Amino acid sequence: MKKFYLSCLLLTSLFMNAQTEIDGIMMSKNNFCFGAVYQHSSWDEYWEGTFKRENLNLGTVYTESVTLNGNYGVSDKLNIIFSLPYVETKASAGTMGGQKGLQDLSLTIKYMPFEKTIGKATYSLYALGGLSAPISDYSADYLPLSLGLKSKTASLRLMGDYQNGHFFTTLSGAYIKRANIIIERNSYYTNQMYYTNEVDMPDAISVNYRIGYRTNRLIAEAVLDNWVTQSGGFDITTNNMPFPSNTMNALKIGVNTKYTLKKIPALSIIGGYNFVLQGRNIGQSNTFYGGIFYILNLKKATQENEK
Amino acid sequence: MKNKIQKIAYNSLVVLFLTVNYSCSDELNERNELFPQLNPTNTDELAGTWKTFLLTTPDEFSLDAPIPTNAAAFTREINEIKSYQASITPEQKKIIKYWSAGGVLRWNEIMRTLVARHNRPPYQNEDGTYPTPSPANPFANPEFPFSNPPYAARAYAYVSAAQYDAMIATWHYKKLYNRAAPFTVDATLPVLIPKSGLPSYPSEDAVLAGVTVELLKLLFPTEIAYIQEKAEEQKLYRIISGANVRSDVDAGIILGRKIAGKFIARAASDGTGAAIGNQALWTQLETQTAATGETPWISLDVPARPPMLPLFGKVKSFLMTPEMVVASRPVPPPSTKSQQFAKELAEVKSYGKNATKKNMQIVTFWADGVGTYTPPGHWNAIASESFVALNYSEVRWARNMALLNIALMDAAISCWDAKYTYFNPRPSQVDPSIKTLTGTPNFPSYVSGHSTFSGAASVVLSHLVPEKAKSFIAMAKEASDSRMFGCIHYRSDCEKGLELGEKVGGFAVARALIDGAE
């Protein structure tokens, strides 16, 4: 009876900690869950290709964000989800100034075509289709301090969830298609010169595995996430500048928790931590986040109004 | 109900994916792939008499007379063309499409690629010092060269000047030997590019390949394999397209190589090798500035990096004597203790605090920093795209690129002379709260390199393409402003830099008026 677990899925497409929290639970019909998440991410070492280094001209690079999220249950099997982050970046050393602003709006349709309970075990399958697009005119070509990569993306994720009693495990895989971006130069060098302001962005594959404990009140899980850039990317050469179409890979490990208040069951608190175990052309970031969510039953509200 | 929702879900997912896959074409439209085949309106038939840079006379290097076109050996050379054409491959067609836009143009593009690829400051040693790229050991870490703006300016200038002298010699021998083109000798021979009315011996493309390869071996020694591959393509293009026979090409390579030798000898003794200086000099620059009561420049890189090429101002110019460099030197910058300085510093700070989107775009567009073809390369790109529309002959292409690049090298020399005469600090050194919108270059502030390069380029290009003068001047102003908007230069750096650039660009314009081409 997993549908009673109220889920808030948050998708932040921040390139540095391209974190996709994907859970095997659905919002019930006519429920709308919304909330905000604060995230703090920092790194002082990064990879130029496979070469791991620090950069004293950057010191520690910080990315902070506040993301608004919402999830509406069209039905028990179909949810529509959005997220919109406001991001601020800065470096602790060197002369380069940071950036701040709204990043990318993402919309996801989450569909559960299959769910079956046999004894204490529940099996379910999901398909998630997502779109994201920048909603402010930030500059992608300002790495590592840009707000994001500015590419419009479309993703398809397939996911399977198995729950037995209070224990569960979820496995999913996604293909992320990225559209070309426009930068503010009319030529650039990757591993060849391009005389255009348009950049071909490599696609990516994301595999996400999670395992943990799940009840009405508490979810606690461990996550392993692998983000792998597909062909078309390239490595940062030693002491060169990063570029939006770099191959950016990250193998991350982390924990997520969600607690629903006993007295106010519509209110839940989330929190988590993750860090990059291994990467390529990205910072080895440590990320903390915390947030709060509230659920409205829209149908009930309407009915009450009619009375 | 259930079916309806299922349908909606399936359909939205399917539509989403199909839309994405069909609407997101990854194809890029690159401007340099649209360049038309070179088809000069004026062949500049008499260019063999134009004034050269280093060659004492156009025939300083001899070239043997070609075999006559009625010889059996010549017929065999025509048969070679026909045999290539009979089995032409798509790859070969691509090579023809690429190179037929023009040899000077394509070699200039190739150079910009090499500059961008090698424009990376060395990574520090464990102890916080920096290794130096060495031409004697170019594959060591760090690879040679570090093609920073002065290095790049000089490289573009040497290649362009050598190509120009080589084209003068080519035009001289073309007229002297007056050998008919293969398609004139054999009217049945298909020609895959616009027919040139010029004699075909020696092949201008082969001379360009010959002279350029030798210079690039010197300037970018780790790239020899890549450079040779390009040269082989260019030679092949001339033969397959029917523009030249093998002996036109072979003679061109020989002539180009000989001419390159003269430029290589000059490069070896022009002072670039010593431009990096040494610890004693770096310390002296600091102490002598401090002795005047001014704040000396310090490196804002961590660990502190030695200043970039402090003796580049002493490099031997093509058009300026050392006395002319000193005479062109701008007045001293406002003292760091002056009110004027405080005002300019405040202005820089305000650009950082109120960075508009428009200003950020300007900063990024003109940044031309690490990993790019540098500001001189940017002006080469601007010039090339202007010249393409004008359908120059190869010799005029070479001349105009040489005038531009010699002016850009003079800009580097005189700008670096000013920087290390005054050795003044960057805004972020004086006020660390100033955050920049682009990387802070590792050399003194006054005058701005971008401004000097842009002033010089705009003056030369305005002379060469007067109908676009307004746009060149506007671009130069914007490039200059970009450094102030980016918070790495004061207004004086930019304004005096533009003026200095315009002054040294004037020397190239003066030369243009008397070189016989106008």
Single-letter code of the amino acid located at A258: K
The full 3-state SS of A106-172, as one line of letters, equals EEEEEEEEEEEEECCEEEEEEEEEEEEEECCCCCCCCCCCCCCCCCCEEEEEEEEEEEECCEEEEEE
Over its C-alpha atoms, chain B yields an Rg (Å, rounded) of 26
Mean per-residue pLDDT, A188-205: 97
Would you say residue B184 has pLDDT above 80?
Answer: yes
- Using CA coordinates, name the residue in chain A closest to B363: A184
Read off the pTM.
Answer: 0.94
Q: Does domain B38-61+86-131+142-268 have CATH number 1.10.606.20?
A: yes
**Strand, helix or coil at B270?**
coil
Mean per-residue pLDDT, B484-500: 98
Residue B117 with chain A: CB contacts under 8 Å: 189
How close is the nearest chain B Cα to the Cα of A283, in Å? Answer: 18
Residue A75, chain B, CB below 8 Å: the answer is yes
Q: Are B364 and A179 an interchain contact pair (Cβ–Cβ within 8 Å)? A: no
Single-letter code of the amino acid located at A269: I
Spatial CA neighbour of A16 closest among A281, A202, A303, A293:
A281
Band (A8; pLDDT cuts 50, 70, 90): very low
Give the β-pairing of A61-73 and A51-54.
unpaired
CA B353 from centroid of its chain's CA atoms: 34
CATH of B279-321+328-514, one of 3.40.50.300, 2.30.30.60, 1.10.606.20, 3.30.9.90: 1.10.606.20
pLDDT at A179: 96
User: Is the Cβ–Cβ distance between B275 and B312 less than 8 Å?
Assistant: yes
The A residues from 89 to 118 touching B (CB cutoff 8 Å) are: 93-98, 109, 111, 113
| Cα–Cα distance measured from residue B340 to residue B354, given in angstroms and rounded to the nearest whole number | 21
Would you say residue B15 has pLDDT above 70?
Answer: no
- What is the sign of the dihedral through the CA atoms of B38, B43, B48 and B53? negative
| CB half-sphere exposure, B508, CA atoms < 13 A | 32
The pLDDT > 70 percentage for chain A reads 91
CA B428 from centroid of its chain's CA atoms: 30
Cα Dmax for chain A: 69
The number of distinct structural domains making up chain A is 1
Closest CB from A180, A183, A192 relative to B26? A180
Spatial CA neighbour of A161 closest among A115, A128, A205, A217:
A115
Question: Cis before residue B190, ω within 30 degrees of 0?
Answer: no
Residue A131, chain B, CB below 8 Å: the answer is yes
* Distances B505 to A194, B95, B412, B497 between C-alpha atoms, Å: 29, 36, 11, 12
User: Is the Cβ–Cβ distance between B229 and B237 less than 8 Å?
Assistant: no
CATH at A116? 2.40.160.40
Residue A239 with chain B: CB contacts under 8 Å: 120-123, 370
Which residues constitute the domain of residue A221? 2-306
Q: What is the mean pLDDT of chain B?
A: 96
> Which of these ranges, A29-43, A198-212, B10-24, has the smallest mean pLDDT?
B10-24
* Distances B325 to A89, B155, B384, B501 between C-alpha atoms, Å: 44, 20, 28, 12
How many CB pairs below 8 A link A and B? 137
Test the A interface: residue of B437, B487, B489 with most A CBs within 10 Å: B437
**Strand, helix or coil at B436?**
strand
- Reported as a single tens digit per residue, the pLDDT across A78-134 is 999 999 999 999 999 999 999 999 999 999 999 999 999 999 999 999 999 999 999
Residue B16 with chain A: CB contacts under 8 Å: 109, 129, 131, 154, 156
The pLDDT > 90 percentage for chain B reads 95
- Using CA coordinates, name the residue in chain B closest to A199: B28
Q: 10 Å Cβ neighbour count for B9?
A: 22
Closest CB from A179, A238, A240 relative to B24? A179
**Strand, helix or coil at B433?**
coil
How close is the nearest chain A Cα to the Cα of B348, in Å? Answer: 13
Band (A5; pLDDT cuts 50, 70, 90): very low
Residue A56, chain B, CB below 8 Å: the answer is yes
Closest CB from B17, B120, B364 relative to A184? B364
Mean per-residue pLDDT, A228-236: 95
In this predicted model, which residue has the larger pLDDT, B397 or A22? B397
| Cα–Cα distance measured from residue B450 to residue B448, given in angstroms and rounded to the nearest whole number | 6
Residue A165, chain B, CB below 8 Å: the answer is no
pLDDT at A14: 35
What per-residue string of b and e applies to B395-407 under the rule 16 or more CB within 10 Å gives b?
A: bbbbbbbbbbbbb
Closest CB from A111, A192, A195 relative to B9? A111
Would you say residue A136 has pLDDT above 90?
Answer: yes
The A residues from 248 to 307 touching B (CB cutoff 8 Å) are: none
pLDDT at B19: 62
Range list of H helices, B315-431: 322-328, 339-353, 357-367, 374-388, 394-422, 427-430
Mean per-residue pLDDT, B403-425: 98
- Reported as a single tens digit per residue, the pLDDT across A239-281 is 999 999 999 999 999 999 999 999 999 999 999 999 999 999 9
| CB half-sphere exposure, A200, CA atoms < 13 A | 18
Question: Cis before residue B142, ω within 30 degrees of 0?
Answer: yes
Mean per-residue pLDDT, A187-203: 97
| Cα–Cα distance measured from residue A119 to residue B30, given in angstroms and rounded to the nearest whole number | 61
Spatial CA neighbour of B210 closest among B264, B267, B156, B166:
B166
- Reported as a single tens digit per residue, the pLDDT across B431-452 is 999 999 999 999 999 999 999 9
Band (B14; pLDDT cuts 50, 70, 90): low
Concatenated DSSP letters of chain A: -GGGS-----EE--STT-EE---S--PPTTEEEEEEEEEEEEESEEEETTEEEE-TTT-SEEEEEEEEEEEEESSSSEEEEEEEEEEEEEESSSSB---EEE-EEEEEEEEEEEEEEETTEEEEEEEEEEEEEE-S---SSSTTSSS-----EEEEEEEEEEEETTEEEEEEEEEEEE--EE-SSS-EESSSEE-SSEEPPP-EEEEEEEEEEE-SSEEEEEEEEEEEE-TT-BPPPTTPPP-TTB--EEEEEEEEEEEE-SS-TTEEEEEEEEEEEEEESSB--EEEEEEEEEEEEHHHHHHHHH-
Residue A94 with chain B: CB contacts under 8 Å: 300, 302
Closest CB from A98, A184, A194 relative to B28? A194
pLDDT at B27: 85
pLDDT at B102: 98
Would you say residue B5 has pLDDT above 80?
Answer: no
pLDDT at A4: 36
| Cα–Cα distance measured from residue B497 to residue A170, given in angstroms and rounded to the nearest whole number | 62
Sequence spans of domains, chain B: 38-61+86-131+142-268, 279-321+328-514
**What single DSSP character describes residue B59?**
T
Residue B355 with chain A: CB contacts under 8 Å: 97
pLDDT at B68: 97
- Reported as a single tens digit per residue, the pLDDT across B360-378 is 999 999 999 999 999 999 9
Test the B interface: residue of A26, A111, A193, A231 with most B CBs within 10 Å: A193
> Which of these ranges, A6-20, A57-71, A160-174, has the smallest mean pLDDT?
A6-20
User: Burial level of B351, CB count in 10 A (0-12/13-18/19+)?
Assistant: buried
Would you say residue B505 has pLDDT above 70?
Answer: yes
Mean per-residue pLDDT, B485-494: 98
In this predicted model, which residue has the larger pLDDT, B280 or A298? B280
| Cα–Cα distance measured from residue B57 to residue A163, given in angstroms and rounded to the nearest whole number | 88
User: Burial level of A66, CB count in 10 A (0-12/13-18/19+)?
Assistant: middle
pLDDT at A1: 34
Q: What is the mean pLDDT of chain A?
A: 90
Would you say residue A306 has pLDDT above 60?
Answer: no
Task: Name the one residue in this structure whose structure tokens are 């006395």.
Answer: B323
* ipTM here: 0.94
